[in-house]
Amino acid sequence: MPTLQEAMAHVGRDVDRVLETVLLPGTGPEGRLADAMRYATLGGGKRLRPFLVAASADLFDVPTEQSRRIGAAVELVHSYSLVHDDLPCMDDDDLRRGRPTVHRQFDEATAVLAGDALLTLAFDLLAAPATSPSADVRVELMRALSHAAGAHGMVGGQAIDLAAEATPLDLDGITRLQALKTGALIGFCCEAGAIAGHAERERRHALKAYAHDLGLAFQIADDLLDLEGTVEETGKAVRKDDAAGKATFVRIMGVDKARQQAAFLAAQAKDHLQVFGARADLLRDLAEFAINRRS
């Protein structure tokens, strides 16, 4: 059995290969758009979401080619959300994964369009027969993705984040914000494995519950990293949330309590995986990684 690091690296390489086939270098007058899409997506990143898809899909023996395509689609959605989130009118970030953000490397208009095109491409990727021989599975994947990514999922979370600049959130509010902003897409990743694998309801729910706890644990760890990490380690600006006076888990709970809560959530996440036995060990390791990483 590979270690978590080996397994993540392996999935990352596979997914990058899929992404290379759908993100061709630019030609013609629209070449700058294609280049910005590549820059936004192929610039590293942990590929955490594709790994979640892969590890969940493996529980149901979904063919690798299929789970990698689903993983690539999720990564396109994740990348688009970062590009738009970094825009001057949003978080106004200059640095992402240790490199200039898309609107700094290209320009704002190209960043808006690149995000739009990446989101659209995610659905294109899922719609193609290579993603699953079953049209029913493909439709269900696209439906679940649109729920997770849209106004009642990720984008809704970003809207709450905007509103929170004027009206700071309490703990319930932050929990809901994060469940939408990052949790919904993480939930989709685990659900996607179950959808592609025609999983029965109990197992699908177990994976969703795991994803829910994992997502929150991951976010609390992110808040701690923002406070304690360095630019070198994280590849992005740190202590921005703190400087902006944003309500975060850490700010409301304090560092010690937040660290305890992250550990509790990681343990609870692992607990949901009992039904899968030892086959889910990589997902268990991931829950540990989520709270112990340095970037």
In sequence order, the 6+-apart residues with CB closer than 8 A to the CB of 8 are: 46, 47, 48, 51
Pick 129 or 277: Cβ nearer its own copies:
129
Residue 162 interacts with its own copies (CB under 8 A): yes or no: yes
Burial (CB count within 10 angstroms: exposed 0-12, middle 13-18, buried 19+), residue 267: middle
Q: State the minimum distance, in angstroms, from the CB of residue 54 to its own copies.
A: 23
- Please state, in angstroms and rounded to a whole number, the distance separating the CA atoms of residues 190 and 205: 10
Binding string, residues 75-94; x marks residues near its own copies by CB under 8 A: -----x---x--x-xx----
Residue indicated by tokens 């994740």: 78
For residue 170, give the 3-state DSSP assignment.
Answer: coil
Residue 172 · residue 142 · CB < 8 Å: no
Residue 49 · residue 15 · CB < 8 Å: no
Interface pick for its own copies out of 1, 25, 27, 29 (rule CB under 8 A): 29
Pick 240 or 294: Cβ nearer its own copies:
240
Torsion, Cα of 188, 247, 156, 195 (10° steps): 10
Interface pick for its own copies out of 109, 171, 231, 255 (rule CB under 8 A): 109
Where do runs of H (alpha helix) occur along 150-238? 154-163, 171-178, 184-196, 201-228, 231-234
Q: State the minimum distance, in angstroms, from the CB of residue 100 to its own copies.
A: 16
Residue 142 interacts with its own copies (CB under 8 A): yes or no: yes
Residue 64 interacts with its own copies (CB under 8 A): yes or no: no
Binding string, residues 37-56; x marks residues near its own copies by CB under 8 A: x-------------------
Q: Which of residues 192-221 bind its own copies (CB under 8 A)?
A: none
Torsion, Cα of 104, 109, 113, 114 (10° steps): -10
- H or E stretch at 99: strand 99-100
Q: Which of residues 216-235 bind its own copies (CB under 8 A)?
A: none
| Binding span for its own copies by CB under 8 A among 46-54, 158-166, 210-218, 263-271 | 158-166
Residue 107 interacts with its own copies (CB under 8 A): yes or no: yes
Residue 121 interacts with its own copies (CB under 8 A): yes or no: yes
The footprint of its own copies (CB under 8 A) covers 28-30, 32-34, 37, 80, 84, 87, 89-90, 107-110, 112-113, 115-117, 119-121, 123-124, 127-128, 135-136, 138-140, 142-143, 145-147, 149-151, 155-160, 162-164, 167, 169, 173, 177, 180
